[in-house]
Amino acid sequence: MEWVALTNGAEWRVYNAHAPVPVEHKLFRSVRIADDIDAAFELLSLLSKDNMRDNRIQELWRSFFVDREVNLALNDLFASGEPSRDLIALLAKRVPKLPHADLRASLQRVRATFDFPRAGVAPAISAPPVPAPRPAEPSSAESSIPKSRASGQPPSTKSRKIAVSEDERHVGFEELMAAGRVAPGATLHGDYMGQRHTATVLASGQIRYQEKVYPSLSAAGRAVKLHVKGRNTPESTLSTDGWDFWRTTDPVCGDEVSLKALRRRVVHAQRDQ
């Protein structure tokens, strides 16, 4: 299997060059760094030496390919004008009281959409080792865990990496601040190469680390690595998921969690409102 990565510096595109599909379907994923730094980090991490050796990207391509084919098939069922007889027969078993003519007319009116979780947002992307164990935080399966009566949040369990939903991706750092979960002046902690580093949240949403101000969590995390390892460090090492790198105390639950876990809690709280 041959993978091709094309970039102009601002946008990255990764293609499965030997996939037995039309050329317009060979694109696996594209991302603009300025639009979504976390997605860019995930995509470039897939191209790391360890993940390529473990063939992680091929596993994700398979999920991506299957989801795309199923999505096309589902859309054909609902958007072909004349509903499929198989679909009408299936519905007739589910709602036997309705005649086939009514079921057909209803299917002709329906406007169905299908949302597939993006392949690749999973806890298998390699990251720099952290020598000291971290406090527990919500796992990727927390949606099925009962909520704490005291905090109204899912109980924490150990998880090294947290899968990120589309809802979470639409929540920015400023929204965490607006929700009162991170206040101006709050201290962030980041562990790297056996050292704990601290940063401060500014009212603007920027991050101050060692008297310098950075525009994002990821930029501040990158600065930590530059400070520890020096300017000759390869870019693949400097690339940082700031949401996962930085931790802070949740003022609602009282525990220290990653910003990624805190963002998930905010999304859960919004859903429950």
What's the pLDDT score for residue 163? 63
pTM (whole model) above 0.85? no
Q: Rounded to an integer, what is the distance from CA 206 to the centroid of its chain? A: 21
For the chain, strand residue ranges (E) read 3-7, 11-16, 27-32, 187-192, 195-201, 207-209, 212-214, 247-249, 256-258
**In the structure encoding, which two tokens stand for residue 15, read together?**
């293609």
Residues 6 or more apart whose Cβ sits within 8 Å of residue 224: 190, 192, 197, 209, 240, 245
Positive/negative CA dihedral, 262, 264, 268, 271: positive
SS3 content of the chain, % helix, strand, coil (to 5): 40, 15, 45
What's the pLDDT score for residue 71? 75
User: Shortest CA distance to 263 belongs to which of 153, 151, 130, 108?
Assistant: 153
**In the structure encoding, which two tokens stand for residue 183, read together?**
């206040």
What's the pLDDT score for residue 208? 95
What's the pLDDT score for residue 241? 87
Q: Strands 11-16, 207-209: parallel, antiparallel or unpaired by DSSP?
A: unpaired
What's the pLDDT score for residue 162? 55
Kindly list the domain boundaries of the chain, sorted by start residue.
Answer: 1-126, 142-272
By CB neighbour count within 10 A (0-12 exposed, 13-18 middle, 19+ buried), where does 200 fall?
Answer: middle
Q: Can you state the angle between helices 217-229 and 37-46, rounded to 10 degrees?
A: 50
Positive/negative CA dihedral, 103, 106, 107, 108: positive
Secondary structure in 3-state letters for 103-121: HHHHHHHCCCCCCCCCCCC
* Cα diameter, the chain: 73
Those residues of the chain that have pLDDT short of 70 are 1, 78-81, 113-163, 273
Contact 158, 137 (CB under 8 A): yes
**In the structure encoding, which two tokens stand for residue 192, read together?**
């790297």
Contact 131, 248 (CB under 8 A): no
Positive/negative CA dihedral, 252, 258, 263, 268: negative
